[in-house]
Amino acid sequence: MNINPDNSGESLADQAIDWLVQMRSGSVTDAMRCEFEVWYRQDDAHRQAYVEAEMLWGSVAEAVKAAPPANLPAGQLRSVPQAVAIRRRPRLAGLALAASLLLGAMLGRGMLQDWLLSDYATAVGEQQQIQLADGSSVLLNTDTALALDWSAERRRVVLLRGQAEFKVVADTHRPFEVVAGDTAVRALGTVFDVARRESGAVEVSVTEHAVAVRLTDKPDVVPMRVEEGQHLQYVGSGGLNKPDAANLKQLNAWKRGKLIFNDQALADVVTELNRYSKAKILLQGQEITHFRVSGVFPTDSLAMLDALQKSLSIRMTKLGPWLVILHM
């Protein structure tokens, strides 16, 4: 494993997360353990970064539990019980129905319309950094489309689908606003993230400074201010909820090519993973939807599916290149 020698800021946090993924992969060699021990012992910053990465998802790699590096400080590595073996009973009845449902979804015109209306767009699994004419920048996440509405009086970006991070250059004469569904997010000199979900929900998180969120279809509703380190979710109807404190490391993990889950239902994990997967992923059987998932995973859908299959003792059936069924 090659480690970037830059130990500052997010780079060191990324190293710790990468090591955590490696050490829980189930294929840890003696050489890898030795390399990890060298990295871990470099200084307190390395050890603290690893502890924080571990705390982020509440457990540690099984490989580390089986053979922890020598002389690691007591109490800094926690273990979890081995996954209970689950009797596998193939339940493939209904896969034909699932395939037909997928076909119907693929024939939907929403995605095509978004692409035709957009100025910038990313494919599934792709990210793109763009520079706007005013010097602001936008990082587009997977399956994202946005259109620009630019004039001498305003700077407006319409998020048609997906998710993006905005780093805004101040201009007192032209406000910067992101429209997503029925919401409009006005920058107050800031770095922020806007996500438009398929359910119609809109999520806003702020990394620097603040934003003001208003409802475009309800001008009488007072805009909600979202401060640095806060997250607001609008479900798509009703009023605006008050923002909550945000776990920015988890929310911003996609910008580093990672997904972080903390005791979340497999159904919710698959919903998120489908945003990054060219093949539609479906769950077969009600009981499997309630499996709980904690961990740090790459946004690469095949790698994550393989990790889920091993850790949860479930099966994966591929029906051509466009459909994957997870089942018992």
pLDDT tens for each residue of 206-251:
999 999 999 998 888 899 999 999 999 999 888 899 999 999 988 9
Domain extent at residue 99 = 95-107+257-327
Among positive and negative, which fits the CA dihedral 297, 302, 303, 308?
positive
Q: Where among 229, 251, 273 does a domain terminate? A: 251
Contact (Cβ atoms closer than 8 angstroms) between residue 52 and residue 13: yes
- Provide CB contacts within 8 A for 73, sequence distance 6+: 47
Predicted local confidence at residue 57, as pLDDT: 43
Give the CATH number for residue 303.
Answer: 3.55.50.30
Burial bucket for residue 228 (CB in 10 Å: 0-12, 13-18, 19+): middle
User: Are the CB atoms for 83 and 303 separated by under 8 Å?
Assistant: no
CA 21, CA 259: separation in Å to the nearest integer? 11
> Same structural domain for residues 147 and 242?
yes
Q: Domain holding 217: CATH number? A: 2.60.120.1440
Q: Is residue 3 part of a domain?
A: no
Quote the tokens at residue 254: 């996609």
Which of these three, 189, 223, 251, is where a domain ends? 251
Q: Are 79 and 60 in contact (CB under 8 A)?
A: yes
Torsions phi, psi for 321 (to 5 deg): -85, 0
Pick the closest to residue 250 from 231, 233, 235 (CA basis): 231
Which residue bears the tokens 């889950």? 261
**How many other C-beta atoms can be found within 10 angstroms of the C-beta atom of residue 181?**
18
Quote the number of domains for the chain.
3
Buried/exposed code over 241-280 (b: 16+ C-beta within 10 A; e: otherwise): eebeebebbbbbbbebebbbbeebebeebbbbbbbbbebb
142: nearest Cα among 196, 103, 179, 192: 196
- Maximal CA-CA distance, the chain: 65
Let me know whether 150 and 218 are in one domain: yes
Same domain, 245 and 195: yes
The position carrying tokens 């909600």 is: 224
Q: Is residue 118 part of a domain?
A: no
Residues 178 and 222 in one domain: yes
Examine the domain organization and report whether 138 and 208 are in the same domain.
Answer: yes
33 and 144 together in one domain: no
Cβ–Cβ < 8 Å for 195, 183: no
Entry pTM: 0.67
End-to-end CA distance of the chain: 33
Q: How much is the pLDDT for 90? A: 35
Residue 74 forms part of a structural domain: no
Q: Specify the pLDDT at position 230.
A: 97
Closest CA to 231 of 251, 204, 270, 209: 204
My answer on whether 261 and 243 are in the same domain is: no
Segments of the chain scoring below 70 in pLDDT: 1-11, 14, 17, 21-22, 24-27, 55-112
Name residue, tokens 């390395």. 46
Establish if 220 belongs to a structural domain: yes
CA angle in degrees (0–180, nearest 5) for 69-15-303: 95
**Same domain, yes or no: 162 and 235:** yes
3-state secondary structure of 174: coil
56 belongs to a structural domain: yes
With helix as H, strand as E and coil as C, how does 8-43 read?
CHHHHHHHHHHHHHHHCCCCCCHHHHHHHHHHHCCC
Q: Examine the domain organization and report whether 144 and 220 are in the same domain.
A: yes
The reply to whether 280 and 211 lie within a common domain is no
State whether 154 and 245 are in the same domain.
Answer: yes
- 96 burial via Cβ count (<10 Å: 0-12, 13-18, 19+): exposed
Q: Residue 80: inside a domain, yes or no?
A: no
Report how far residue 240's alpha carbon sits from residue 224's, in angstroms, rounded to the nearest whole number: 7
User: Of 222, 251, 280, which marks where a domain is finished?
Assistant: 251
> Closest by alpha carbon to 41, among 9, 10, 19?
19
The answer to whether residue 184 is domain-embedded is yes
Whether residues 136 and 228 fall in one domain: yes
Residue 115 falls inside a structural domain: no
